[in-house]
Structure 1
Amino acid sequence: MMVLRKRGLSKVLNAWYTLAEERRRRRLRFERAARHFLNQQHLKAWNSWCAFHEVQKRHRNLLTKAGIRIKNMKLSGAWDKWTELIQEKRAAEAKRTKCLRHWLNATLAKVWSAWMDFIDWRREKRKIMSRWMQPMMARALSGWYESAQWRKRMRLVTDRALRRLMNKTLAVAFYTWKDLVDVGKVDAQLTTKQELVLKLRDMQEENERIRRDNERFVRLIDSGEWGRGRVAELVAAGEVMKGERDALLKLIQGMRREYEAVQQAKEAQVDEFKAIKDRMLLGGAARNRMLVKGGSSFNALVRAMKQDLVEGGAGAGAASRNPNALYEIDKLSLDHVTVFPDGELNVAAVASVPGTAALARPVSAGRALKGPSSSLGPGLAPPMQPMRMPQQLAAGMPGVGRLLLLAHQAPPAKADWQAESQQAGLQH
């Protein structure tokens, strides 16, 4: 009975506790809702007060900043005035110090200049006294000083000339090596081009043969004599020939590009040879050596012509008609002779006057002349034009004397001969 009674009490107590808890939660919810409603009513007033407070605070800050700025402006103006005053005082002090220093320096400069003038005057007087008392020693010292200065100057000139000569030699060697390398490259390109041309010719012949076979096969197919298998083989052969034709076209295009490259290299080589000839004509050690070589070859020409006239060779007839022809050969040494790297001579005749004014040796009065004094008259003298000939012809081949005699018959005048002989001597 007690257990049943306790169970009934516990159930009643639990029910009462649950109801009380539910009422408490409901009351709390009502109180929270009431507070929220009151807060909503007070929130507008609170927000308005906060906004007003922020505006007042911002206004106070602006007024404070404006006051501080006004105060700073006054302070900065006073500070600027004080700084300007200090700067003016410093500038005035610097000018005063500079004037004093300049005045002191001017006085010291005058004193120093007077003292240096006195020192120079005393040295000059001592030098004069020493020369007067020891004339031999003074002359020896001055001679030694001049000799030392001359040796110093000659040493400088010699070193400069040696450096210039070494630089010229190195430049000539370098350009010669460069020309040889370029010639080797061009030769290799030309050899490759020739091989490609031969290969192209063979491939063109092969292509022509294949084309003829293909045409014959097409005619056979059109006649209906072969079967489908042969037609398939011919179609495959046509595809193969098409591929070969494409390859051949690519090869031809490549060969064309290589040929154009070789042509450009060849043109560049021709321009380089022309530049070399121009450089030779401008001056240098190599040109001097070639001029010496050309002069020796030309002297051999003159000797061969004289020997031809004396011994009665091809030019003996001209010598019999004109006794002065033997002496006029010497005037050929006035021609400008240039030797090029390809072994050719460039002979340019010097302009001359009528032959009657340029006889280096008069004809004897006892000898009678057969015909005119010269083979060509003054008005019939050939034009003076440069003449190029191979090196073998310049070495003294038969018939050269007669050719040059007819080309350069009119000799120069005496004044021109003297001026041009000096120039020819320098060039040869």
Structure 2
Amino acid sequence: MFRARRAVVDGVEGPAAVRVSGERVTAVLPHDADPAGARVVELAEDEVLLPGLVDTHVHVNDPGRADWEGFPTATRAAAAGGVTTIVDMPLNSLPPTVDLDALRVKQRAARGRVHVDVGFWGGAVPGNAGELAALHEAGVFGFKCFLLDSGVEEFGHLSPRELHEHMAVTAGLGALLIAHAEDGAIVADAPHGRGYRDFLASRPRAAEDSAIGWVIEAARATGGRAHVVHLSSSDAIGAIAAARAEGVRLTVETCPHYLTFTAEDVPDGATQFKCCPPIREAANRELLWQALRDGVVDVVVSDHSPCTPDLKRLDTGDFGAAWGGVSSLQLGLPAVWTGASARGIGLAEVVGWLAGGTAELVGLRRKGRIAVGCDADLVVFAPDERFTVDARALAHRNPVTPYDGVELRGAVRQTWLRGALVSDGQEPRGALLERGVA
């Protein structure tokens, strides 16, 4: 039994005792309930019991580019950050997960090597619409597409016409299509350069806004479910809200780095901040926070997209040449909590964005909540403890992150996966998940 004076249950923070048997929660009781001989994990006065987080946007890159990130290191980082479930993106690994054979390769690479539970996205690329049904049947959680160059040649991007064609297929399957939404023509016509201001100008808000319009139109025309990944442009919020009001099946995510950092604070040469779409201005950040509070943006995910340090061009500081991606899998909860608490937002609402909402997005019925029948994925969190990030101490493979040296509020002290404490040095016991099973 877990006994906490503060626990987040059913979207509310309050005292609770959580009884666990085997891998599942069997009862949620008043704080002073009789443990009836059970072992008791008593949380300290400064700790809160949370459900394990669900991060549905993680690039593990294994197999093929495991020197960028691999399953053992990524899932250790996840557990250290209170994330008990990740869903792995289909690109940057070799082969990319665009057909059934490639999915089996990915699953073999992960099996027996993961410290948290792991599911997989399939890929939607030119010419593979006929592969989607088999991937869906095999249990992927949906299909990721790019609407401009993905950065890796083996994962092509869809034109607006191909987006409609693929979404017609996913609509027929009842599957979710998720889109990296930037208009490549606008990006190609924008100015480019080495510095951060040059990079920001090269990925203007208009590129996101235009491509999000394509996604809305495809979802409207096909009746399919669509999801916009890593929203950074606040200018798109009105169009998103209007589409949802008319019944378009559209959900949206943003990321901790868009809620934490601002373009004004990114120094030239600090390529650890480069991501696509980019970190924008302070006023834009506040509008993203408001969209979260208003429910227009549904969830927050890491978009952990690492690479080797040389690809970040840290030696030259060239934003135009550097790989775009932020490494942050271990830091999502404290980063979002730091920003939320400063704005008067409660911990229960943060948990909804990082756990309950993400589990619901991909249909993980037993994840993201503390409730009877759910997996006993539990996190002991100290919301008032402050720490300064040391990139070298993080568990992901390469010690590069824009959070290095940043003071954050909130520390994960323990993570429990299906009733067992995840600790350093233990054998991996994470499971591979399939849609509709977990």
- The verdict on a shared fold, with TM-score over 0.5 as the criterion, is no
Determine which structure has more spread, i.e. the larger CA radius of gyration. 1
Higher-RCO chain (CA-CA 8 Å, sequence separation at least 6): 2
Bigger share in helix: 1
Bigger share in strand: 2
- Relative to the length of structure 1, the TM-score reads 0.17
